[in-house]
Amino acid sequence: MLNKLWFLGLVIKTWVIHPSYFNFLSGTLKKGDPKPHRPNKQVPRLYNFSMSPYGERVRLVMKAKNIEHEIVNVHLGNKPDWLTTLNPAGKIPVLEWDRDDKIICESDVICEFLDNDYPNTGPQLGATDPHQREKDREFATGVDEYMETCGFHVVLHTKDSPTKHWQTIQTELKKLDKFIANRMDNKKFLSGDVSPGLIDYMVWPIIGRLIATIDVTSGGVSAEDYLPKELPAIHDYRRHMLGDSVVRDVSPTLDQLVAFLRIVIAYNKLHEIINVHLGEKREWLAPLSHTGAVPVIQWDRDDKTLSESLVICDYLDEYYPTDSNGPQLGATDPYQWAKDREFVCNVGDYMSVYKQVLHSKEGPISQWPGDVCPGLTDYMVWPIVERLISTIDVTSSGVSAEDYMPKELSAIHDYRRHMLGDIVVSDVSPIHEQVVQHK
């Protein structure tokens, strides 16, 4: 595992599956993005994250109640500044409703509000008896606590092997199974035999994620095999909940939850980044890179080092095997690999234009000249292309790259559009304005 890594760039190789296959962050708003205007204030808006169990609660209730609504997904790892004006804690879900943009936070509060405030759009989901209502709240809180006792958040953010937590997960899931069995009393749902109720839609997102930890931490045992034998109450409850059309429409599948957990775990233990000031280099950089250039990668117990971005990226693609750490990014055919390298080197030659602009002391110069997902060549080329694009704004005396490219650089324009749609690029690369301002 990598100990230290200096400005590696775009190669994020220890994700189990290429994240573009699962658009978990597709369309999310992040820091710097403006708060969208509410076009129809008759329609409530939910601020959400697509894989959040708490946001899922609200979405399940809205679907079950047939409530027309709008969803705005936000990036929880890079939150937009305006999120804290809606909820000072910076958490989701947040419900914005009414003409006055009233705000309600906390998933349980939002769900009960929707159930009561929209009596005519769909069935009453919550218990009408006050005592039962309180018992349901108590039960939901009890299930929530298993997120902590099972070590769900510990597993999610672990830098060790997730399998180290398997014994704890097993023990706590068996306790949860008994907790659910006592409440179910041989009924299909927590709310009875007819259909899921509010308590089911509050509890199900938590149970779904705890089930996913089986595949992630067991070291080879699948939840589909484990549940019937070891967790019969959870197994039966899951079977009935998956038969509900609301759950099928809203909730992520087990495969998606497992993939998401593995991606997050891999991302958290991927690497450490130390940024260095290239204008005032630290003395300790010289022994790591004889030229004083970055990137440099340092790994292993013996603090082995490599420099030069192409060498590092090739090494990472080979060192981290495909099955456990992500897709093979580079071409497997030797000739294609060589042609890709030739292409990368040719694109790199164009960096002389960028460097001329970057180091000009006289102001801007007067003249300037696969279908599935990006691969290694794309991640090698893209940082060069995006910096060359920035020279348009810097040197053209008023022409913006956004206007110029569709008309004059159609191939670069199309390539940029596709690359900006990649989740790795959107998470790692600076935005166009940042590259322009760097000059």
What are the C-alpha distances in Å from 295 to residues 68, 225, 226, 386, 387?
50, 45, 45, 18, 17
70-73 sheet: strands from edge to edge:
70-73, 45-48, 94-97, 102-105
What's the pLDDT score for residue 23?
54
| pLDDT, position 436 | 64
For 404-438, what is each residue's pLDDT tens digit? 888 888 888 888 888 888 777 877 877 767 666 65
Strand partners, 189: 192
Segment 13-48, tens digit of pLDDT: 333 334 433 456 667 898 899 999 998 999 999 999
The answer on pLDDT for 51 being more than 70 is yes
In three-state form (DSSP H/G/I as H, E/B as E, the rest C), the secondary structure along 168-179 is: HHHHHHHHHHHH
Q: What is the mean pLDDT of residues 47-62?
A: 96
Q: Which residue has the higher pLDDT, 80 or 401?
A: 80
How far apart CA 203 and CA 183 sit, in angstroms, is 12
Contacts of 183 (CB under 8 A, 6+ apart): 139, 190
Q: How far apart are CA 195 and CA 184, in angstroms?
A: 13
Report field, pTM of the whole predicted structure over 0.85: no
Mean pLDDT score, 282-287: 75
pLDDT tens, 320-333? 655 445 567 787 88
- The 10s digit of each residue's pLDDT in 91-150 is 999 999 988 889 999 999 999 999 999 999 999 999 999 999 999 999 999 999 998 888
Structural domains of the chain in order of their starting residue, each with its CATH number: 17-267 (3.40.30.10), 326-438 (1.20.1050)
The tens digit of pLDDT for each residue in 188-244 reads 999 998 999 999 999 999 999 999 999 989 988 999 999 999 999 999 999 999 999
* Mean pLDDT, all residues of the chain: 81
Q: How many CA atoms lie within 13 A of 224 on its CB side?
A: 4
pLDDT digits (tens, 9 = 90+) for 180-198: 999 998 899 999 989 999 9
Are the C-beta atoms of 199 and 140 separated by less than 8 Å? yes
Judge contact between 209 and 259, C-beta under 8 A.
no
Query: How many other C-beta atoms can be found within 10 angstroms of the C-beta atom of residue 198?
Result: 27
